[in-house]
Structure 1
C-alpha cells in the first residue's frame, strides 16, 4: 500500500506540489511570455511582502532593544528575527537574479514536458521515489508549524503570536487585530520561504536526472552520430548545470548563514536559565534548521557524483574499435567530466556536499561545547 501511494507522486505532481507550496509568496517565476500587467502585479506583490516583513522585523528588534534585561523576551525576539531576516534575504535575491531563475525554471519545465515514458520511469525510480518522502515531510512540517503560531497566544495568554513592541498602544482594537493578522501573514510567508529550499533542491535533482538520462544514452550508442548527439547534449547540460548552481548559491548561502546563527542562539538558550517550554521549542527549531541545510547538501552531493560518472561511462564504450575522430571526441567528454559540478557558496565557504554537511554538524557541536564550557567557568 505504501509503494502504491508513493508511485502516485509523479514528476509532474512533484513540481505542482512545490509550486503550490510557494503560492502565497508568488516565488515561482512567471512564463517568459507573461503580460506586462502580470509581471507588474508580481513585482508589486514582492515589494509589499518585503515591506510587511521589514515592519514585523522592526517591531521585534524594537522589543529586543527595549527589554534587554528580560532574558526570556530577548530569546523569543531572537527566534523571530532570524527567520524574518531570511525571508528578506530571499526576496532580495529573487529580485536580483529573477531573469536567471526564470530561465532555468522554464528549461526545467520544458524538459519535464518533453520526456518520454522510459525517461520518466527512470526519474521516477531513481529520484522521485527516493526523495519525495523527505521533502514532503519538510514542506509539511514548515506549514504545520504555523498551527503553533496561531494557537500560541491562546494557550499562553499572550497578546500576539511573536514578541513585538511598538511606539504606540497596540493593545486596543482595531490595532491589536491588525497587528495579530500582520504577524500571522508574515508567519505564512516564513513557512513558504522555507519551502524555497525545496524548489532549489528540485532544480538540482532534475539537473542530476538529466545527467542520468545522458548516461543511459551513452550506454546505448551504436554509431558516431549517436555519440555526437551525446557530446552536444553533454555540453548543453554543463552550461545548464552551471546556470543552476549560480541561481541556487545565494539562497543556499542564506539558508546556511541563518541556520548557523540560529543554531548558535539555540545553544546559548540551552545553557541559560530559560523555561523548559522554550527549550523544547528550540529543539524543534534546531532540527528544522539542520533539515534546511541538508535539503541542499543531499542533491549537491548527488550532482557531483553523477556529473563525474559521465567520464566512466564514456570510457566503458567500445572506443578501441572506433575511428581516431571518435577517440578524440571521447577524450574531450572525459576531460570535461573530470571537473565536477559544484554548488560553491560565496564568501570563501566550501562547496555543498554531504562531507560539508558532516563538517557543518561537527562545527556546530564544537561551538556548543565551547559555549557551555565558557558558561560553566563563569559560574
Structure 2
C-alpha cells in the first residue's frame, strides 16, 4: 500500500481520473464544438437524474411523515434527504453556470495539453504530488461508502439500502427489485455528485499552478519584451481565475450547507438513544462531511497566497536599474497582485480559506454543545 501511495500520478492521468469519476452524472462539460444531438442527450440525462432524485426524496419524506415516533428511522431518512438535495442543487448550479464551466474546463485542458516539459515538472512536483493522493482517497471513499450502503440489504437481510417508505407494498416482486435498483442508481448519483468537489478543487489547484509557472517566468526574465509578455499572461490569468471562482462558489456553498445540516443531524444521534451500529456509521459520515469542506478550503487558501506572491517576486527584481517605462509597468502588476483571488461564497458568507475552515469547525462543535444542553434541560 505504501508503494502504491508513493507512485507519481501524471497530470494527464489526474484529469482523466477526475473525468471518469464524474461519468455517472455526465458532469464534465462537452467540447465547445459538440453537435446539437450530443448536447440534447446530455440535457435529457440531467433531467432524468433530477426526476429520479426527486422520486427518492419523495419516498424519504413519506417515510418521515408516516413514522414520526421512531427517532432512529426519522434520522436515517433525514440523513438520506441531504445528499439527494445536494444532487439536485449541483444539477441546478451546472445549468446556471454551464457556459462558464465549459470555458474554464476547456481552457484548463488546452493549457495543460500544450505545457512544456520543465513546466510540467514544476506542476508535478509542487501540486500533483502533494494533493493527488488526498483527493484520490476522497474520490474512492465516496464510491466505496455508497457501495457498502447498497450491499447492506444483501449482507444483513434488510429490505432496502435507504430508510424509505412507499404508498405501495415494496416488499413484493417486481416492485422490490425496481425500488432496490432505483436506490442503487441514486447512490451512484450521490457518489458522482460528491466527486464534483474533487473537480472544483482541481480547477482551483491548476489555477494556482499557472500562477506558480508565471512566477518562475518572472524570475528568469532578461528584457522588457519578456516582461511585457508576463504582464499580458498575468492579466489573462487574473481574468481566468475570476471565472474559476465564479464557477466554484455555488458548488462550494451547496457542499457547505449540505454538510452542515448533515453534521447537525448526526449530532442528535449521539444524544438520543439509537443503536450502536448507527452511531458507528455516523462517525464515518462526520469525517466525510468535514473532509468535503476541507476539499475546498485547502486549494482556496493556496490560491490566495500564490496570487499575492506575484507582487513580491516582481518587487524583488532589479527594477531600479530599468527604465521609467519598465518601472511603470512593474507598478501596475504589483498593484493588481495586491488584491488576492478569493473564492467568495454567495449570500454574504465569508471567503473560503483555512481560517474559514477553522471557524467552521468551531461553529459545528458549538452547535453540538447547544443541542446537547437543550436535550439535557
Could you state the TM-score of these two structures normalised by the residue count of structure 1? 0.98
In the alignment, which residue of structure 1 is the partner of 2:234? 234
Is it true that 1:211 corresponds to 2:204 in the alignment?
Answer: no
In the alignment, which residue of structure 2 is the partner of 1:33? 33
In the alignment, which residue of structure 1 is the partner of 2:150? 150
8 Å Cα contact 1:221-1:227 kept in structure 2: yes
Aligned-partner SS, 2:151: helix
Matched residues in 1 for 2:4 and 2:364: separation? 39
Distance apart, 1:86 and its partner CA: 0.4
8 Å Cα contact 2:250-2:345 kept in structure 1: yes
Matched residues in 2 for 1:36 and 1:154: separation? 42
8 Å Cα contact 1:149-1:184 kept in structure 2: no
Aligned-partner SS, 2:273: coil
Aligned-partner SS, 1:352: coil
In the alignment, which residue of structure 2 is the partner of 1:188? 188
8 Å Cα contact 1:153-1:161 kept in structure 2: yes
In the alignment, which residue of structure 2 is the partner of 1:360? 360
In the alignment, which residue of structure 2 is the partner of 1:270? 270
Superposed CA RMSD: 1.2
Aligned-partner SS, 2:272: coil
In the alignment, which residue of structure 2 is the partner of 1:323? 323
In the alignment, which residue of structure 1 is the partner of 2:202? 202
Matched residues in 2 for 1:337 and 1:3: separation? 40
Distance apart, 1:151 and its partner CA: 2.2
Matched residues in 2 for 1:293 and 1:206: separation? 19
In the alignment, which residue of structure 2 is the partner of 1:313? 313
Is it true that 1:88 corresponds to 2:85 in the alignment?
Answer: no
Is it true that 1:62 corresponds to 2:48 in the alignment?
Answer: no
Structure 2 gaps of 5+ residues are none
Distance apart, 1:235 and its partner CA: 0.3
Matched residues in 2 for 1:59 and 1:85: separation? 13
Is it true that 1:18 corresponds to 2:18 in the alignment?
Answer: yes
Matched residues in 1 for 2:205 and 2:259: separation? 22
In the alignment, which residue of structure 2 is the partner of 1:291? 291
In the alignment, which residue of structure 1 is the partner of 2:176? 176
In the alignment, which residue of structure 1 is the partner of 2:139? 139
8 Å Cα contact 2:241-2:341 kept in structure 1: yes
Matched residues in 1 for 2:109 and 2:374: separation? 52
Equivalent pairs counted in the alignment come to 377
Distance 1:279 1:5, change over 3 A: closer
In the alignment, which residue of structure 1 is the partner of 2:333? 333
In the alignment, which residue of structure 2 is the partner of 1:77? 77
Matched residues in 2 for 1:247 and 1:137: separation? 24
Structure 1 residues 341-352: aligned runs within 5 Å: 341-352=341-352
Matched residues in 1 for 2:263 and 2:146: separation? 20
Distance apart, 1:109 and its partner CA: 0.2
Matched residues in 2 for 1:165 and 1:4: separation? 43
Matched residues in 2 for 1:157 and 1:339: separation? 58
Could you state the TM-score of these two structures normalised by the residue count of structure 2? 0.98
- Per-residue displacement from partner, 1:104-132 (whole Å, max 9, x unpaired)? 00000001101000000000000000001
